[in-house]
């Protein structure tokens, strides 16, 4: 096999990445731990490798899209010699430190390393509807950009390999807390018989409108002055009535109580008159 790119891991995401490369005219070799997942891609022109080594030796660029950090280590560890001098783009979700560990392992073995964090579901890969963040080798990013751009909008975050994953996980943190806020609200109104669908129809446009606030909050956080006039104060943001209402309806107030605890910490420290974004100081552990 002699191809442009090898894709290791043909789960939902790895298959979508490989298919998009084929659609863009790249010669692709694929490998998956469990046999039988490459049939469709082979039908579309991909070469199937029987082993990780064979897949690695087939191309100068290796994409790893496996389950987690441990599966990447287990899969690539024994192929370090074959990877020497090639470029490894690892788009498997890892923590920042796991990405840094892989980058230093790669450096020790003469492997060029680029870490990727995918902000998209597989169906968004073909139509290029998502974003992928990268960090690690700038030279590899620049050289591979025409290929990376086949998948999504690409964004480089720096040579420290952990940075792409840090931005990715920070984005997902916001997303999951928004989802959980919706789940909590849906549980509250369910006690009066409102369906989750009816609640979602109201919540979605409201949340979308509220995202307009983020830029203003960001300005205050970046400026570091929580006394800037015109902000909603921490005292005004006391959420104990939401916590009580949740309890009165027999719904666990855990999500909103966690937010209230962060606000209270700032009020108790004497910052009640300052703006709501001061919550970020509770999270930084600076009081």
Which residue number, 73 or 235, has a Cβ lying nearer to ligand NDP?
Answer: 73
Q: What is the spatial distance between Cα 257 and Cα 239, in angstroms, rounded to a whole number?
A: 8
CB of 102 to ligand NDP, least distance (A): 13
Three-state SS at 262: helix
CB of 75 to ligand NDP, least distance (A): 5
Comparing C-alpha atoms, which of 57, 48, 114, 47 is closest to residue 80? Answer: 57
CB of 204 to ligand NDP, least distance (A): 21
CB-based burial of residue 241 (10 Å sphere; 0-12 exposed, 13-18 middle, 19+ buried)? exposed
Q: Which residue is nearest to ligand NDP (CB)?
A: 11
CB of 93 to ligand NDP, least distance (A): 3
Q: What is the spatial distance between Cα 109 and Cα 81, in angstroms, rounded to a whole number?
A: 7
Which residue number, 98 or 274, has a Cβ lying nearer to ligand NDP?
Answer: 98
Q: What is the spatial distance between Cα 256 and Cα 120, in angstroms, rounded to a whole number?
A: 28
How is residue 267 annotated by DSSP?
A: I
Which residue number, 93 or 266, has a Cβ lying nearer to ligand NDP?
Answer: 93
Which residue number, 117 or 263, has a Cβ lying nearer to ligand NDP?
Answer: 117
Tell me which residues touch ligand NDP (CB under 6 A).
9-14, 32-34, 37, 65-68, 71, 74-75, 92-93, 118, 121-122
Comparing C-alpha atoms, which of 178, 180, 200, 192 is closest to residue 252? Answer: 180
CB of 162 to ligand NDP, least distance (A): 15
CB of 35 to ligand NDP, least distance (A): 8
Here the tokens at position 231 are 């902000």
Which residue number, 74 or 128, has a Cβ lying nearer to ligand NDP?
Answer: 74
Which residue number, 35 or 214, has a Cβ lying nearer to ligand NDP?
Answer: 35
Give Cα separations from 152 to 17, 31, 245 (angstroms).
10, 22, 43
Which residue number, 150 or 279, has a Cβ lying nearer to ligand NDP?
Answer: 150
Alpha helices in 46-195 (DSSP H): 52-58, 69-76, 80-83, 96-108, 138-148, 163-190
CB of 14 to ligand NDP, least distance (A): 5
């Amino acid at each position: 096999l002699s191809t442009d790119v090898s894709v290791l891991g043909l789960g939902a995401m790895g298959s979508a990445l490989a298919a998009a490369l084929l659609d863009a005219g790249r010669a692709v070799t694929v490998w998956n731990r469990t046999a039988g997942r490459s049939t469709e891609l082979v039908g579309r022109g991909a070469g199937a490798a029987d082993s990780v080594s064979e897949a690695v030796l087939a191309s100068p660029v290796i994409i790893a899209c496996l389950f987690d950090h441990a599966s990447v280590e287990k899969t690539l560890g024994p192929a370090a010699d074959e990877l020497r001098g090639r470029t490894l783009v690892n788009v498997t979700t890892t923590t920042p430190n796991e990405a840094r560990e892989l980058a230093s392992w790669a450096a020790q073995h003469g492997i060029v390393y680029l870490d990727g964090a995918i902000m998209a579901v597989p169906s968004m890969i073909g139509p290029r509807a998502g974003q992928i963040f990268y960090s690690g080798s700038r030279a590899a990013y620049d050289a591979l950009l025409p290929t990376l751009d086949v998948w999504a909008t690409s964004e480089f975050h720096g040579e420290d390999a952990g940075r792409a994953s840090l931005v990715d996980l920070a984005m997902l943190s916001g997303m999951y807390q928004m989802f959980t806020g919706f789940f909590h609200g849906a549980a509250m109104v369910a006690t009066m018989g409102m369906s989750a669908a009816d609640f979602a129809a109201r919540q979605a446009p409201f949340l979308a409108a509220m995202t307009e606030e983020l830029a203003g909050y960001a300005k205050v956080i970046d400026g570091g002055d929580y006394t800037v006039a015109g902000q909603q104060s921490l005292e005004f943001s006391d959420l104990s009535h939401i916590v009580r209402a949740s309890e009165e309806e027999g719904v666990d107030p855990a999500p909103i109580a966690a937010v209230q605890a962060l606000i209270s910490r700032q009020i108790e420290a004497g910052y009640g008159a300052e703006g709501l974004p001061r919550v970020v100081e509770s999270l930084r552990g600076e009081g």
